[in-house]
Amino acid sequence: MEDEELDRIDELVIDILTKSDKPLTTYKIAKEAGVSWSTVNIHCYRLKSMDMLREEVVNHEHGRKRIYWELVGKTPKLSEYID
């Protein structure tokens, strides 16, 4: 498989983020996809390296950091243009 090809998990991550109105954590994506956190983490970083995802690291006061993922170039939903 070439590095630029998307596999089933990549497509699942993209689909979940497309349907979301806000960025999601690795944990939320994994829970919705029904796969392990580590699998989603690997695929999110892979998609980031392909310039398809943007990562935002948020450090909470108790030392736990969370990574939020968002699609790059996410297109607006049609419902946003219809009154």
Q: Where are the domains of the chain?
A: 8-80
80: confidence class by pLDDT, cuts 50, 70, 90 = low
Name which residue leads in pLDDT, 73 or 31.
31
> Residue 67: what residue type?
I
In CATH, 8-80 is 3.40.830.10 = no
- The single-letter DSSP state of residue 4 is T
Q: Using one digit for the tens of pLDDT, what is the confidence trace for 3-56?
A: 578 999 999 999 999 999 999 999 999 999 999 999 999 999 999 999 999 999
Cα–Cα dist 81/36, whole Å: 36
SS (H, E, C) 29-81: HHHHHCCCHHHHHHHHHHHHHCCCEEEEEEECCCCCEEEEEEECCCCCCHHHC
Nearest in space to 53 (alpha carbons), one of 20, 13, 21, 2: 13
Cα–Cα dist 27/39, whole Å: 10
Q: What is the pTM of this model?
A: 0.79
